[in-house]
Amino acid sequence: MKYDIKYAAREYEVQGQKKTYWTTHGTVWAENGKMKIKLDSVPTPFDGWFQCFEQKTDAPASFSAPPVARPKRVDSGFDDMPDDIPFN
C-alpha cells in the first residue's frame, strides 16, 4: 500500500467552510511488514509534522519539479587567472 506524505501548508475558506491546502512531499510504502519513506522535499517553514494519506489511484506517485534552466555563466573577471593557488 502507498501513502502520500503531505504537509498542511495553509488554511483557506470556501463559502464559509474552512479547508486545508495540502502539499505533497514524498511517498510511504508499506510492504512485508516494513515501511519505506521517500522524501522529495521539506517545506519551509516546517513545524516537524507531516501527515500520510492513502494514495489515490489516479494521483502521481510523487511530484517532480521540471528541470530549471541554469543561467549562462557571467564572466567574473578572474577567468584568465591560473587555477593553482600556492599555499605556503
Question: Does some domain include residue 24?
Answer: yes
CA dist., res. 7 & res. 59, Å (int)? 16
Instruction: Specify the pLDDT at position 79.
Output: 67
SS3 87: coil
Question: Does some domain include residue 33?
Answer: yes
CA dist., res. 53 & res. 50, Å (int)? 10
> Domain residues for 32?
2-54
Give pLDDT tens digits along the chain (88 positions).
Answer: 899 999 999 999 989 999 999 999 999 998 899 999 999 999 988 899 999 999 887 655 555 555 666 666 666 666 666 667 666 6
Instruction: Specify the pLDDT at position 57.
Output: 74
Instruction: Specify the pLDDT at position 1.
Output: 85
Instruction: Specify the pLDDT at position 77.
Output: 67
Question: Does some domain include residue 87?
Answer: no
Question: Does some domain include residue 9?
Answer: yes
| Domains in the chain, number | 1
Q: Return the beta strands (E) in the chain as ranges.
A: 2-14, 17-31, 34-39, 51-54
Question: Does some domain include residue 16?
Answer: yes
Question: Does some domain include residue 31?
Answer: yes
Instruction: Specify the pLDDT at position 37.
Output: 94
